[in-house]
Structures are given as C-alpha cells and as structure tokens.
Amino acid sequence: MGATIVEKIFSSRCGKAVAAGEVVMAPIDRAMIHDITGPLAIEKFKEMGGRKVFDRNRVVMLFDHQIPADSIEAAQNHVFMRKFAEEQGIFNRDLREGVCHQVVVEEGLAAPGEIVVGADSHTCMYGATGAFATGIGSTDMGFALKFGALYFRVPDSIRIEVEGTFPRRVSPKDLILAITGDIGADGATYQTLEFTGNTVQNMDMAGRMTCCNMAIEMGAKAGIVPPDTVTRSYLAGRGVMAPLEIASDPDATYAEFKDYNVSTLEPQVAVPHNVDNVVPVGEVAGTPIDQVFIGSCTNGRFEDLAAAAEVAGTETFDPKVRVIVIPASRKEYLKALKAGTIERFVNAGALVEAPCCGPCMGGAFGLLAPGEVSLSTSNRNFKGRQGSAEAKVYLCSPATAAASAIYGVITDPRGV
Amino acid sequence: MKVWKFGDDVDTDAIIPGRFLTIYNPMELAKHAFEGTRPEFAMGVARGDVIVAGRNFGCGSSREHAPIALLGAGVQVVIAKSFARIFYRNAINTGLLPLVCAETDGIHDMSEIEVNTLKRIAVVEGKTYHLEPVPAFLKEIIEAGGLVEYAKKLEEVPLCTVSR
Ligand code: SF4
C-alpha cells in the first residue's frame, strides 16, 4: 500500500514504516522559539531538568513579536532569552532578521523530509519547502529542547488539487482564503493539507508559503507542497541540497480529495470575526476602513509588496486611512528597497516599519480602537486580534489591500 | 460548580488577548481571561467551574498562556464537542483536562455541573452526559500530572516507539 509524503517523512526519520493514526516519538530536525512563547518554553525545559539543549545548532532563536521592546516586560523577556542563548551557545538572531517563519524558510532551515517544530502556530508555513513542520506549545517545546524528540500522531492528509491560471490581480492569498472558506475553521483538524496540481507547480515559493501558512486556519497540523524544481532551485540558493525524490505514492490513502480551479477565482475577503467567513470582494466592497496592514508571515514577502505597489502605482493613499507596511524580513526589506517598492509606499503616504510582526497580533503597535475597521494581509481576524474586541478586522490579498488604501473603502483591485 | 457556556470556534486570542502575553503568572493571566469577549468571566469564575463549549475550542495561536490562564482562574476541566489540535496538546501538557462530549448543546450557561472523570460522565440538571475517553498514549502524561512531570521521570526518550 502506498504512503503519503507525510507518512514517508515520519517513516524515514524513524527508521520504520509508520502510518497515519499511529503515535510516534519522532526526532526533531529543527526547533524554533521566539520572544513570546520562548521564555515559557525555556522555563519548562528547566523545570524538566534540562541542562543542555539537545543540539544548539538545531535551535533557531529570534525576536519578532514585540520588537524593539514595546514594554519593560517585553524587554525583560528579551534579556532572559539572550542570557539563555549565551549559556547554551545558541546563535540568537535577536531582533535583526524579521518574522520567525520567513527567516526559517529563507535561511534554508527547513528542508524536504525534515521534521521541524516551532513554538508558534504558523510554523506549518515551512511545509512550502517539503518539510513536515508544525506549531507546538511551550511545554512541548521544552520537551523538544531537552530530548530532541516529540510525540506526534502521524496525521492523515487531505489532497488539494489546484488547476488553472490566476486571473490578473488574483493571487495565492485569494486561493487559500477561498479554500479556508470552503473547508472551514476546523475542517482539517489533526490533518495535513497536501497542495498539488498545475497551479501549485507553477507557483513561486512566496505563494506556496502563503498557502501553507494558513493551513492552521483550517485546524490542520501541517501544510505541505511536495518538493519539485521550484523548491530545489530556491533551496540550492540557500546552500540546501534537497533530496531528489520525496512525494506521495499514487496509491496513497487520503482522508479526502478536494479540487479547485483558480481561472475563475475572484479576490476574496475574510469578514470579521472568523477566518473561514470568506466572501468575494464584491460583497464587501465599499466598506469604510481606518487602517490597512500590508505585511506578516502570510504576505510580507517581496512578491507581496511588489503586488501591492503595482496596484498602488503612483496614487497616494486616502489620508483618512493609516497604511502600515512591514516587510517580513530584513532580506525582503532590502529587495523591496532596491526595487524602489518602499519608496513608492512612502510616497503614497504609508508608514513603513522595520521587519517584525507588527499589528498582526495586536501586541506591539498599530492597535485598533473600539469601532475601528482594519483591512489586513495577515492571517487572523479574531475578535480583539488587532486591539479592541469592538474593532473589526478583514483579511485580504496585498493587491486588495493596496486598492482599498487608495479609496479608503474595501475595493476590488481588478478595477483599479 | 457552574457551567461557563461558550459557542463554536473559541480562539486563544479570545481566551487571552495578545497584549497580555508578556505575563506568565497563572493568577495574573487569569485576571485577563476572556477580557475582550466575556468580561464578566474573570470576576465571576470560581474554583472548580467548568467551561463547556461547541466545536473547535482553542483554535488559533499556539500560546500556552490560554490553558494557563484558565488553570489560574480555577478551571480544571473544559468540555467541548471538539478541540483545536495545539490547544488540546497544551491543555494535556499543562494539566487542564480537555474532554470531548458530542452533546454539549443541551448544557446551559450557569447550570450546576458535576464532573466525574473516572466514570467519564458529567451530570447537569439531573441529566448525564458521556465524555469520550482520552487517547491511551495521552493517559500516561495526564496520570503523571502533565508533560513536565512526565519528562522529569524520563531517563531517556523512547525514540521511534509507535503506539496507537
Ligand atoms: S506575523 Fe502574525 S501570524 Fe506571523 S508569526 Fe507574527 S504574529 Fe504570528
């Protein structure tokens, strides 16, 4: 009987055949901690009697959620983590590099066939490289740091087949929003979403990351794109030699099959207060907005900023709207700087901030007042996510965000 | 013991908003539990109270502050139709018991509730509700008192052992 790519990853890392539904204590190839969930993970590691982490070179540490420190407590957390990194000899990227998930992928720290965990739910993004990657809590992370292993229930998979060509100004973000609306907030709980089909094969890594990033919004344990030439050339540029063959068998068992075609897809918007509350942009066009956020691990890459800038053209943004643009990492920031994208945003009246999570989590800055409306390229619109519980957050693609920023109301980017 | 009833898709941002994540003390976190979405919870909750919810409880962010805030508030059991994966693990790991029950629709806010974890039943207003068993491999962790206690006893990790 055939196996899915995820079953194969667990089998190869464990040295014996394991199948979906089985629980296995599997070795960890990489563990990521950041400034919010890291301190607690370190505490747990110590409570468990941990002295040395399992492998200091396999621990990725960086700060991105509350940087530069936005409170004394955040500053203390940073100090605590810096000290731990120093004691353990862990290379700490501190606040220099950007949003954790972007940094892991762009530095080649998640490779096909690897098992990667991160103390953050959007760790599932690294599946874009063909790794099995999943988000865990701090106690699980304490355990992983100590033993270099963790228990997993090998997930079964939903195979998502995407065909067709994206219409102008419709992007992978619109696709994944549409899929989330279809599958629902808990439609893939404990499962893996395996993205395949022509459209995915033709998608760049940025788009694949956007899709895998939002697997968690359907409750999935992981998202994965079987590695191909796009993956291999991306990783080769990062010094990673990807294995040549790792893919699901044709006769693998899937929990479900889903087909999508993007040729007729319209720009999508997730309406407050659930990510699966998705409608075509036309249904909410004209809704006044107070803030636009272009950034996050979902859509803060150069390709996203470029797509937004293309729509913005030489227009200036509506002065009633606060437009916050945050590149996902230092490297993406530099690319956008060199391409003149950042200049365009600044000319249009946007606030461009240094790489970090920014308003995505409502922790650091850019919080919303009661009654305010935000349009965001990030991944969550839960009540209170970006500030007041009486504020509203709509989610969309970078193109829709830019079009809306020009007019001050939610706007279909195809008409701009 | 009373019921605090919630609907479907209660996310961890609702349980504890992002701006309180620099706090790690359970009692301090508890003061802000459900602050934006159900402000009367933190003041009204009493030790032993039970949260009863619909589908997908604890979806969203991996923040362990969520089960910790509930534990700090004195809640030891959450009963829901289903749980989001990371929250479920975090709950087991920190000692909050997540129990699945298909028929939580019939349980109302502020009802008196009696939970018997050994018999796996909850009694609410004279009616008995059956709670699904916790997967066998997680029982060991629960019985140890959470993953920290479990890990302390572990000399060596049983790498690549497979169970159901
Ligand atoms: S950008 Fe948002 S979703 Fe991504 S890691 Fe930061 S807070 Fe989480």
Give yes or no for a contact between A24 and A6, defined as CB atoms under 8 angstroms apart. no
Does A246 reside within a domain?
Answer: no
B151 with A48: CB under 8 angstroms? yes
Q: Is the CB of A173 under 6 A from ligand 1?
A: no
Average pLDDT value over all residues in chain A = 96
State yes or no: pLDDT of A264 exceeds 70.
Answer: yes
Distances (CA, A) of A308 to A15, A214, A332, A406: 46, 20, 14, 11
Distance between CA atoms of residues A44 and A274, nearest Å: 32
> What pLDDT digit, counting tens, does each position of A124-171 carry?
999 999 999 999 999 999 999 999 999 999 999 999 999 999 999 999
Share of chain B above pLDDT 70, in %: 99
Helix runs in B16-64, H state only: 26-30, 40-44
Instruction: Tell me the average pLDDT across B75-88.
Output: 96
Whether residues A292 and A393 fall in one domain: yes
Domain co-membership, A160 together with A103: no
pTM for the full predicted model: 0.95
pLDDT 10s digits, A229-239: 999 999 998 98
Measure A268 CA to nearest chain B CA, in Å: 20
Distance from C-alpha of A339 to C-alpha of A337, rounded to nearest angstrom = 5
Helices (H) and strands (E) in chain B, counts: 7, 8
Instruction: Tell me what the mean pLDDT of segment B53-57 comes to.
Output: 97
Residue A165 lies in a domain: yes
Is-contact B111 B2, C-beta < 8 A? yes
* Residue B27 Cα distances to A2, A140, B69, angstroms: 50, 22, 7
What's the whole-number mean pLDDT along residues B20-44?
A: 93
- Can you spell out the DSSP letters for A118-145? ESSGGGGGGGGGT-EEEE--HHHHHHHH
State the count of interchain CB pairs (< 8 A) between A and B. 158
Q: Are A102 and A300 in contact (CB under 8 A)?
A: yes
pLDDT at B33 over 80: yes
Residue partners of A334: CB distance under 8 A and separation at least 6: none
What pLDDT, in 10s, does the model give residues A167-212?
999 999 999 999 999 999 999 999 999 999 999 999 999 999 999 9
The whole domain housing A282 covers 269-415
- Residue labelled with tokens 């699904």: B132
d(C-alpha B164, C-alpha B148), whole Å: 22
Locate all alpha helices (DSSP H) within A125-228, ordered by sequence.
Answer: 138-147, 172-183, 198-201, 205-213
A78 to chain B: closest CA residue: B22
More confident residue, B157 or A41: A41
- Nearest residue to A308 (alpha-carbon basis) of A321, A318, A317: A317
Confidence of residue A116 (pLDDT cuts 50, 70, 90): very high
| Structural domain ending residue among the three candidates A265, A287, A317 | A265
d(CA A85, CA A60): 10
Q: Please tell me which of the candidates A44, A186, A221 has its beta carbon nearest to residue B59.
A: A186
Task: State whether A149 and A15 are in the same domain.
Answer: yes
Average pLDDT over residues A45-64: 97
pLDDT at residue number B89: 94
A285 and A204 fall within a common domain? no
Instruction: Show the tokens assigned to B146.
Output: 């959470």
- Three-state DSSP class for residue B106: helix
Q: Are residues A142 and A183 located together in one domain of the fold? A: no
Residue A244 has pLDDT above 80, yes or no: no
Contact criterion met (CB below 8 Å) for A81 and A61: yes
In-domain check, residue A245: no
For A329-355, what is the mean pLDDT?
98
CATH architecture observed for domain B3-155: Alpha-Beta Barrel (3.20)
| pLDDT mean over A62-90 | 96
Residues with Cβ within 8 Å of residue A404, at least 6 apart in sequence: A289, A292, A321, A375, A396, A410, A411
The DSSP secondary structure of A376-387, one letter per residue, reads ESSS---TTTTB
A133 shares its domain with A169:
no
Question: Quick check: B156 pLDDT over 90?
Answer: no
Is residue B122 over pLDDT 90? Answer: yes
Q: How confident is the model at residue B164 (pLDDT cuts 50, 70, 90)?
A: low
Q: Where are the domains of chain B?
A: 3-155
State whether B161 and A135 contact (CB < 8 Å): no
Asked if B13 and A24 come within 8 Å (Cβ–Cβ), the reply is: no
CB A347 within 8 A of CB A320: no
Q: Mean pLDDT across the stretch B108-134?
A: 95
Tell me, yes or no, whether A125 and A208 share the same domain. Answer: no
The pLDDT of residue B155: 81
Is the residue at A179 inside a domain? yes
Ligand 1 centroid to Cα of residue B125, in Å, is 43
Chain B residues close to A37, C-beta within 8 Å: 62-64
Contact B151 A147 (CB under 8 A): yes
Contact criterion met (CB < 8 Å) for B13 and A149: no
The total number of structural domains in chain A stands at 3
Q: Is A357 in the pocket of ligand 1 (CB under 6 A)?
A: yes
Same domain, A311 and A382: yes
CB-based burial label for B55 (10 Å; 0-12, 13-18, 19+): buried
Residue A312, token pair as written in the block? 């913005």
**Residues A188 and A291 both lie in one domain:** no
User: Residue B147: which of A66, A121, A140 has the nearest Cβ?
Assistant: A140
User: How confident is the model at residue B18, as a pLDDT?
Assistant: 87
Both A2 and A145 in one domain: the answer is yes
The C-alpha atoms of residue A227 and residue A111 are separated, in whole angstroms, by 9
Within 8 A by CB and 6+ apart from A385, the residues are A361, A362, A393, B13, B18
Shortest CA distance from A216: residue in chain B:
B60
Residue A403 lies in a domain: yes
Is residue A175, in this structure, part of any structural domain at all?
Answer: yes
The token pair at A399 is 């193109």
For residue A105, give both structure tokens: 């992928």
What proportion of chain A, given as a percentage, has pLDDT over 70?
100
Tokens coding A224: 């994965």
Find, among A59, A67, A120, the residue nearest to B65 by Cα: A120
Does an H or E element contain A336, and which?
Answer: helix A330-338
pLDDT, average across residues A46-52: 96
Is A117 found in the same domain as A9? yes
CA quadruple A140, A141, A145, A150: dihedral, nearest 10: 40
Cβ–Cβ below 8 Å for B90 and A140:
yes
Q: What separation in angstroms does the CA of B89 have from each of A172, A196, B145?
A: 30, 29, 13
SS3 state of residue A197: coil
CATH number at residue A125: 3.30.499.10
Q: Is A312 in the pocket of ligand 1 (CB under 6 A)?
A: no
Structure tokens at B16: 């504890």
Do A77 and A222 lie in one domain? The reply is no
Check pLDDT > 90 for residue B137: no
CB atoms within 10 A of CB A176: 30
The per-residue pLDDT of chain B, averaged, comes to 94
Strand order in the sheet with A222-224: A222-224, A192-196, A157-163, A256-261
